[in-house]
Chains A and B, each alone.
Chain A
Amino acid sequence: MEGKSKLFLTRRNLVGAIACTALLPSSLGASKAAQRVAVLDWAIAETLFALGEPPIALVAASDWNRFVVEPRLPAGTADIGVQQEVNFELLAALHPDLILTSPFSQDQEPALARIAPVRRFTVFEPTSTPLDRPRTLTRELGAMVGAERQAEALIAYTDAQLAACRTRLARLRLPPVLLVGFLDARHVRAYGGVGLYQNVLDTLGLQNAWTKPTNAWGFATTGIEGLATGKDVRLVAFQPVPPDALPTLAQSPLWRELPFVKAGHMSILPPVLMFGALPAALRFARLLTTELERVAG
C-alpha cells in the first residue's frame, strides 16, 4: 500500500524532521506550541481529537456529525472538501504545519507537499491481534504531536472500557450477532473478517453470526437471503437504514419468517465509523453493550 520510490525519500526525511520537532516541545515541557495539523482521513482525525490535539482542517467536515456522531466536530474546524478533491487553495490559506494522509488519499500527496510537510499513516491493516492497528496508529500519532503520555492513556482507557464492556456482557447469555448495513431493500453489507467491527466483537468475546468470507476490507455484500439461518442470532443493523428497506422487506416471506425477525431479535444502532480507530471501536463497543443489556432485560 505504501508508495515507494520518490515518496520514500521525502517521507524518511519528513519523519526525521518531525521526530526532531516532536522532541523539542516535549523537552520544553508544558509550553509546547500547538501544531496546526490538517487531516485527510477521519480515523486519524478522531484519534487526534481523543489525544486532545484537534486538527484545524478536515476533509468532508460537513458530513462528520452525521456519520461519526461523536465526538462532535468543534465549530472552528475548516472543511477542505472531499477526500478525492481537496480544496488546496483554502488549505494553503490556513497555513497548516503538517498534513496527515492515509493510503485512501495518497493521490493528493504531491500537491499537498507544496503546502506543508505530508505524513501518511496506515489506518487499515489486517492483523492477528484485534485492534492492533488502531493502537499503533494512536502511538504513532501521539509520538508525532508530542502526546505520548496521552496516547498511552487513551489506549489504557480504551482497553479498560472494552474490558468493562466484556465483563458486563459475560453475565448475559448472548446469541451470536449478525452485523449488517442495509444498502437497499434487497441487499446488505455483512461485517466480519478483518474489519474494525469484528475486532471489537473479538475483544468483547462476542460471536459473529456471519461466518462466510468477506472481502479484504472486512465486509461482504449479499442479498437478504444470504442472512437466512435457523440458528438463534441477533441482527444488529447500523443506521442509516434506507427508508424503503424495512417496509419492503415486511412483505417478503423470506424476511418475515427469519427466526430473528419473527422473534424481534433486531437492533438498530446509530452510525459508527467503519474505517475508524480506537474512538470508533469504543463507541461501537459501548453502543452494542448498552443495546444488548437493554434487550436482555
Chain B
Amino acid sequence: MGLSVSLMGPRNALAASNEESTLKLTPEICITGDENQACEIRIELQWRLAKNELVCILSDNNAYPKWCSESPEQHEITMNVSTLSDIHFVLVSKETNQTLAGAKLKITSTSQPQVRRRYRNPWSLF
C-alpha cells in the first residue's frame, strides 16, 4: 500500500461472528502549521472482522492505491502518509468486495479560518 507501508506481525484473531467489522485509524487527526503544508505522519490501521477473511484497504487518495492482506490473521498495517487533504480509508472484503468499515484521516491546520462573533441575526433583513 504505497511506498511506506510496513506490515505488522499477525495478531490473534479478533473476529466475533455477532460483531460488526470495524476499522480503527490511529491517529485520526493530523495538525499542520499551515494549510499549504503537507501532513507527514505515520498512521496505523487496525481492523476487527465479523468473520476472518482476507481484506483490502482502499483510499480516496491516488498516492495510496489498493492494498490487500495475504493472510486472514493479519489485522493491522502501518504506513507513512504525506498529504494536504483528508484521506478516507475503506475496508472491503477481498472476496466479495463488500464494504466492511471505513475511517478518515482528517487534516487540520493551526491557521484554520478565524471566526468572530456575528452581531446580527442572519435573517434580520426583513
A and B associate: no
Q: Which residues of A does B touch, CB under 8 Å?
A: none
Q: Which residues of B does A touch, CB under 8 Å?
A: none
